[in-house]
Amino acid sequence: MGRSNLLIVTALAALALAAPSQAVTDADILNFALNLECLEATFYSYAAYGSGLNSTLRGDGPVAIGGKKAMLSSAVQNYANEVARDEINHVAFLRTALGAAAVACPQIDVGPGFAAIVKAALASANMNMTFSPYDDDLDFLLGAFILEDVGVTAYNGAAPLLESKKNLGAAASIMATEAYHGGIIRTLLYQRGYDMVKPYSLQTVDFAQKVSNLRATVGGGKDQGITSPMANGVMNTPYSSNLVPADSNSLVFARTPTEVLNIVYGGSAAKPGAFYPKGVNGNINGTASTA
């Protein structure tokens, strides 16, 4: 069996586990994506504008926890504004595409949720500090790094499962947008690679690598940091850039819904937490993985 076919079979198995009582539909897959877009749109909206999604965009879901206006330079503020518009548009687009089948945004935590992920990633290097993505440019970019690659891998894993060509085209277009975002974030962080992330006494490249290591541990091993310490078997000094996280064929990683939930729940798809303290909404939610 080829690698691509194996990925599809694995993803199908995970989806079947997540929604055992009924066949998984395009609406189920798009609603899973909507949950992720609610998270990204909420984070960027708070960081850029100081407010979260309105009731219509939330689908009358609860107001998010922990968001606030980020303290950004004008250059990074411009980036935050553009990405916030993109992510808000994604939420609106998916609600229109799903119509009455669209789920409400779940309870989302974009404050302590980030802190929980960073605490798990840094372990002993955490120094019992509380990370916030709203304190300055670098912290905001690191917060975005935590989210962006997850969205790309989620769409890549789900796209082959969509039956409608129209839905597949839409998912591919959203994934492309998310990949642009992710590439920009990785580039900006690499440019600041040797800046210290206060107060952790870690350089940016090392901080990002620890986040990547955590995502790889719980997310199927499909992750890379922003640097490549080895090139053709030779150690690079300084580290060379790794702006596109991909496999040996330079194909973007694909994650199953369970692997995605393992990351955004902070460890296990069976136990809501971190960014989704009460879990995601819809038929693909990870609760069946407790069986």
pLDDT tens digits for range 251-281: 999 999 999 999 999 999 999 999 999 999 9
pLDDT the model gives residue 8: 39
Mean pLDDT of 1-16: 43
Confidence of residue 291 (pLDDT cuts 50, 70, 90): very low
Mean pLDDT of 37-52: 98
pLDDT the model gives residue 225: 95
* Omega prior to 238 cis, within 30 of 0: yes
Task: Count Cβ neighbours within 10 Å for each residue of 179-207 and write b for 16 or more, e otherwise.
Answer: bebbbbbbebbbebbeeebeebebebbbb
Confidence of residue 10 (pLDDT cuts 50, 70, 90): very low
Q: In the predicted model, what is the mean pLDDT of the chain?
A: 89
What percent of the chain clears pLDDT 90, i.e. is strictly above it? 80
CB 159 within 8 A of CB 172: yes
Q: How many CA atoms lie within 13 A of 104 on its CB side?
A: 14
Q: What pLDDT digit, counting tens, does each position of 193-219 carry? A: 999 998 898 999 999 999 999 999 999
How far is it, in rounded angstroms, from Cα 24 to Cα 26?
7
The helix/strand/coil state of 229 is: strand
* Structure token pair of residue 109: 């935590």
Q: What pLDDT digit, counting tens, does each position of 151-187 carry? A: 999 999 999 999 999 999 999 999 999 999 999 999 9
